[in-house]
Amino acid sequence: MDAEEQAGGLQSPLIPVPDQERDLQTRTGHLCRDKIINEVKKRLLLAGPLVSSNFLLCIYVGHLGELALSGASIATSFASVTGMTLMIGMGSALDTFCGQSYRTKQYRMLAIHLQRAMVVLLLVSTPPAFIWYNAGNS
């Protein structure tokens, strides 16, 4: 391995890379790697409580028996899919529309998007709320 490969720069047999550009590639690679590591740490700090609460729930319900554990697992999955995932997905579409309207300074369209999204989210959230309300204990 020669000195150029150790420096971490990209080398092409057809296009020579100047020393300044190779140094920039090396520095950028390290900065990029540090940014990724910091982002992973932030995500783990945010997701840590969720993971630990789900883990503790499984341990707690697991002591009650296999049937209780399977029922809790199905209920958690059902609630996640019909409630949180559906609402977060539809709310994310609102974020895109509102962001575009705001950046182009079309405040009237921003208000229209927001009002329509509130009505649509209310209509979409009604059936899962009705199902959750009528779900009884076995």
Q: How many other C-beta atoms can be found within 10 angstroms of the C-beta atom of residue 104?
A: 10
Answer for the pair 72, 61: CB distance below 8 angstroms, yes or no: yes
At position 78, the amino acid (one-letter code) is F
For residue range 1-31, what is the model confidence (pLDDT) as tens digits?
A: 444 444 444 555 555 555 655 665 565 555 5
Answer for the pair 125, 85: CB distance below 8 angstroms, yes or no: no
Q: How many other C-beta atoms can be found within 10 angstroms of the C-beta atom of residue 69?
A: 17
Prediction pTM value: 0.52
Domain ranges of the chain: 19-63, 79-133
Residue with tokens 């080398």: 11
For residue range 59-110, what is the model confidence (pLDDT) as tens digits?
A: 888 888 888 888 888 888 888 888 888 888 888 888 888 888 888 888 899 8
As a whole number of angstroms, the distance between CA 2 and CA 9 comes to 12
